[in-house]
């Protein structure tokens, strides 16, 4: 978008903020999951799981606790904090900016976009974060009572919920700050 000069650097920063850092965190998570599956395939199903795959509890704790969990929480909070403002600005920019609207229309027709609009893609990070605890709770329901695996899963669920709570709180605070700024501007304008 910058190369084609269809959007200002400010708009791009607002829409995509720390997307590179967020992609790095998800790549790290993906690598850890793939390495776990490779170990299962190389050495057989581990930890006495007895199922098609081995236990995932320890992996889940590694993903949502410690360094990766902190990076996920920090980068997701940063990305999501201006999400509503970004979507509002996107809507306004798309309505008045012909080159930008044309660029978005062309991009939406790209098969990689699966006919999704940018406004539909921006909230995906938050939606993904909401799904983690739900998925893990379902897995925990079918995990043997009293097992170490269940303890790991429950710890992972608690950490995933904490990350979600922190991100929600940060997002809500940013939206409240934005509203206060808008109210202050109105008061300054009328006063």
Domains annotated for the chain, with CATH where assigned, are 21-84+119-190 (1.20.900.10)
Express as a percent the part of the chain with pLDDT over 70: 91
Give the per-residue pLDDT at 5: 77
Least confident of 41-45, 65-69, 127-131, 183-187: 41-45
Categorize the per-residue pLDDT at 180 as very low, low, confident or very high, splitting at 50, 70 and 90: very high
**Mean pLDDT calculated for residue range 36-55:** 72
Least confident of 54-58, 98-102, 115-119, 160-164: 98-102
Give the per-residue pLDDT at 72: 97
Q: Which residue has the higher pLDDT, 45 or 15?
A: 15
**Mean pLDDT calculated for residue range 166-186:** 93
74-127 pLDDT per residue, tens: 999 999 998 999 999 988 888 886 788 888 888 888 898 888 899 999 999 999
Output the 3-class SS for the chain.
CCCCCCCCHHHHHHHHCCHHHHHHHHHHHHHHHHHHHHHHHHHCCCCCCCCCCCCCHHHHHHHHCHHHHHHHHHHHHHHHHCHHHHHHHHHHHHHHCHHHHHHHHHHHCCHHHCCCCHHHHCCHHHHHHHHHHHHHHHHHHCCCCCCHHHHHHHHHHHHHHHHHHHHHHHHHHHHHHHHHHHHHHHHHHHC
pTM of structure: 0.85
């Amino acid at each position: 978008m910058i190369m084609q000069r269809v959007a200002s650097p400010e708009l791009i920063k607002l829409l995509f903020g720390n997307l590179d850092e967020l992609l790095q965190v998800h790549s790290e998570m993906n690598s850890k999951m793939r390495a776990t599956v490779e170990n299962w395939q190389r050495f057989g199903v581990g930890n006495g799981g007895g199922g098609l795959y081995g236990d995932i509890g320890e992996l889940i704790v590694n993903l949502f606790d410690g360094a990766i969990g902190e990076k996920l929480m920090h980068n997701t909070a940063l990305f999501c904090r201006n999400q509503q403002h970004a979507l509002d600005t996107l809507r306004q920019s798309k309505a008045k900016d012909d080159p930008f609207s044309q660029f978005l229309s062309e991009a939406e027709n790209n098969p990689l976009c699966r006919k999704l609009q940018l406004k539909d893609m921006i909230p995906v990070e938050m939606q993904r974060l909401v799904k983690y605890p739900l998925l893990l709770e379902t897995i925990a329901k079918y995990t043997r009572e009293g097992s170490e695996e269940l303890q790991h899963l429950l710890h992972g669920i608690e950490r995933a919920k904490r990350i979600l709570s922190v991100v929600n709180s940060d997002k809500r605070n940013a939206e409240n700050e934005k509203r206060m700024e808008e109210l202050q501007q109105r008061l300054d304008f009328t006063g």
